[in-house]
Amino acid sequence: MNSPYKLLFLILILIIGCKNREVDDIKFTQSINSLNMNIFSDEGNKLLSIKSPYSNYNKQENTFNLKQTTINLFNNNELEYVINSDISKLSKNNKFLELNGNVLVKSFIQKDDKLYANKFTWNIEDSKYILVGDVKFKNNSVTLSSNKAILNKSNNVIEFFKPVKYKIDDINNESGYEINSNNAYYNIETQSVSFVSKDERVRSKIYF
C-alpha cells in the first residue's frame, strides 16, 4: 500500500475511533435538568436530599455529577444541615458523597453556625463528615480555622486539627487571631469549644 493510502487509512481509523467514543459517551451518560433526589437508609429513614439545576448520570460508573448543588442532611428524619457547593459527586451506589468548591455548611441546630471548606466528603454508612482545605467555622461568638475538620453527626461535635486559629468575637478585643497547637473541639449543641493537648487532657474550655 502506497504511503498516501496508508495515511488516509490511518486517518479513517482515527475518525471512526473518535466517533465510537462519542457514541459511547452518549450511550453511558444521561443529562438531567433540575435534579431532585432523596436517599433513604435501609430502615426507611431519610438521610439526604439533593437538588441541582444541572447534572449528569454516568450509567457505566453509576455516578451522579452535579453543579450548583444544595444538599440537605437529616438525622432521624429531622433536618440538621444544609450544604451548598459549586460541584458535587454521588458515587459507589449512592453511598459516597463528595462536594468541591465554596462549600458552605449551615446548621439547623444552631442557625447562626456556618462551616466553610474547599472540600466535603461523606461515606453515607459512616457518621463523620470530613472537611478539607481552608476550613472555617463561624458564628456570633467565635471563629475557628484549620486545614482539616471532622463533623461527627452522632454527637454534633466538630474536631479541628492542629494548628488551629481561633478568635473570640468580642468588640473589646482587637488582638485578632490566636494560634493554638492543640486540636480544638466545638460542640454545636452546648456552644462550647475545648482545646485538648497531646496527652488528651483538656487544657481549656470556653462556653458562649
pLDDT category at 34 given cuts 50, 70, 90 is confident
Q: Which of 84-88, 101-105, 133-137, 152-156 has the lowest mean pLDDT?
A: 152-156
Strands (E), the chain: 29-40, 46-58, 63-75, 78-91, 96-107, 114-123, 128-138, 142-152, 157-160, 164-168, 178-180, 183-187, 192-196, 202-207
- 102 Ramachandran zone, left/alpha/beta (phi>0; psi -120 to 50): left
Single out the residue of 4, 88, 10 nearest to residue 48, CA to CA. 88
Q: Which of 11-20, 111-120, 172-181: highest mean pLDDT?
A: 111-120
Q: Which of 17-26, 48-57, 173-182, 186-195 has the lowest mean pLDDT?
A: 17-26
- Which residues lie closer than 8 Å to 150 by C-beta, 6 or more apart? 128, 129, 130, 131, 158, 159, 161
pTM: 0.77
pLDDT on residue 137: 93
Q: What are the distances in angstroms from CA 26 to CA 62, 88, 131, 132?
A: 15, 21, 34, 34
At residue 200, does pLDDT exceed 80? no
